[in-house]
Structure 1
Amino acid sequence: MMRLIKSWVEQYFSDEEALFLLLLLIVGFVIVLTLGSVLAPAIASVIVAYLLQGPVLALKNRGMGHNLASILVFITFVIVCLAILLIIVPAVWAQVAQLFAELPKMISKGHDLLVILPERYPQLFSEDQIRAVSKTIGEEIGRIGQFVLSFSLSNLPNLVGILIYLVLVPLLVFFFLKDGNMMVNWWVSLLPNKRVLVGRVWREMDDQFANYIRGKVVEIIAVGVVTYVAFAIMGIRYAALLAILVGLSVVIPYIGAAVVTIPVVLIAYFQWGISSDFYYLVAIYFIIQALDGNVLVPLLFSEAVNLHPVVIILAVLLFGGLWGLWGVFFAIPLATIFKAVITAWPRGVQAAQQTSEE
């Protein structure tokens, strides 16, 4: 047994560069896991600055200087954020308030629908089952109302923290955009001179993050805008709220679309009942989902590393459980990095020699 363990250690951990990469990954994981809440503004700023590197590089390729390109992209970013805070957020919040105001009517209509089920389908539903379901739904609605009230009251003191974020994050984003290359060069200077393996993993990680994150942001915006236009033309209530939910649902592959389908169908049913408008809206919604999955996703992520659906779902569950929404958003690129590390990891002395010769 000891010989087997020794052979495995020598095969995978005999290279010094591999050990350094492992140590680097462990330190980074521990820092994010333990200090993630403290460093959240800096981490969010790095992510936003990374997303904005694409427009900066595009302007630089057109002959613009780095500082000017960074300033123009940053000003555009601030304008977009202000538009979201001053226009989109109030409109969506108004629809959320309207939805909660009409929720009792929806519950009453749903209860009336449940009551007639035993009469129409006595072989499938009994009155006792319907009473139990109605009681459970009422209890859950009460808990949701209490949660919303407690959540709103408990977060009033955090308004100061939110204001600090609104000032601190844009400021950090500007400096990361302007001096990001200098910071990266300083960080690289601290690494060992022999870093072929680290460089290979970093290049693949950079490609995957760039392809996935920027593509995912474009997908969220495109799906959300198209959904809002279609829903607004159909005249469904809460079109902006539903469009945001549908747009954000693409963050969670497979699961997100299935979950968001429920509120879309329910709101359409409560507004129109089983009618032609209901069928038209559901059909339009599924057409948008089909175009997203079969046209937009292959177009945006044609260079992404292919991962099995089981791996994607497990990555979403794992990283989402560790880091919440950010973990869900970065689940696929993190899984891709893990795959890249395993693929690039030297196996044995001969592989290590080949790595050092590259």
Structure 2
Amino acid sequence: MATSHSKTRRKSNENTQVPPGGPAGKQTCKRSHRTAPDSDTETANHWVSKHTRTDTQQATYNKQEEVLKKKWHDEAKAVEECQQKKHTTVTEQTNTDVANRIAELEKQLEIAKAHGTKYKWLAHQSKEKTNPEVEAASILRPTGTLQIQLQMGLKDQDEEYTRIRTTIISILMWSGADTMVSWSKQPLILHSKIVQVARHQEPYLTCFAGDWVTEAILIQYLSNHISHEHQKKNPNSNYNHKCANKGCRGRFSVMHVMPPGDGAAAGSSHGDDEGELRPEGGSSAEEKGNDDSSDSAEADGNESSSGSGSGSGSGSDSE
């Protein structure tokens, strides 16, 4: 009996079991436990009815939309006006800055033109002073004997040559160089210093390659200076003889205006000086006096003594 009852229940369950697709035209929603619409049309109608606005709601929505559009339009217009105003302000400021900068540059240009004119004038004067026809280091040292003034191109410019030569010698003196040492034996550092200072003070010297003019002038000066100092120290030198005879010449020049007797006496007092010039007429008077005295003293006809007297007279003539 129990078995038949279970079979009957099983059959009833099988008869009442919902097919996988559910009843015809319906499905079961597991989450919401609600039935879904039977077709797409029903689904669309359901969503349309759910989201459909009433006339009042639509009017409110349209009004809000217009307000938002107007607000957006006003904001966009305000932003555009602000950008345009900012651009105009920036443009005006830029134009003002550019105008100020142009005015400042024009002032600087005028100042630069004035300075340029001044510098051009100074450069022109400097070129005229340093002989612009000659380029720097373009005149080579000539071969053979040097004629410094002629080969410097200052043949008819004695004052210019004298000034340059004096400047070079003064630089040598101020440098502390030993003037009793020749130029070739001077220190090389001293060479370079003297040459640089000479170039700075006399720009015309830059025209000569190797500074041969400066060296030639210094070689000439030092050679003459050393020779002169040696002659001064030598008592038998021509320099000292000339210095000694210079005073004698002065005394003899006074004898020309002295009386004949005093002149003869003065002449006899200096007659024994070696290499001394005698005054005009003194030698002839002395010769006559010697001849007369020899004739009176040697009246006995001693020809030897008279011959010696005549010989002394001829010797005085030769002097």
| TM-score, normalised by the number of residues in structure 1 | 0.16
The structure that has the greater radius of gyration is 2
Which structure has greater helix proportion? 1
| TM-score, normalised by the number of residues in structure 2 | 0.18
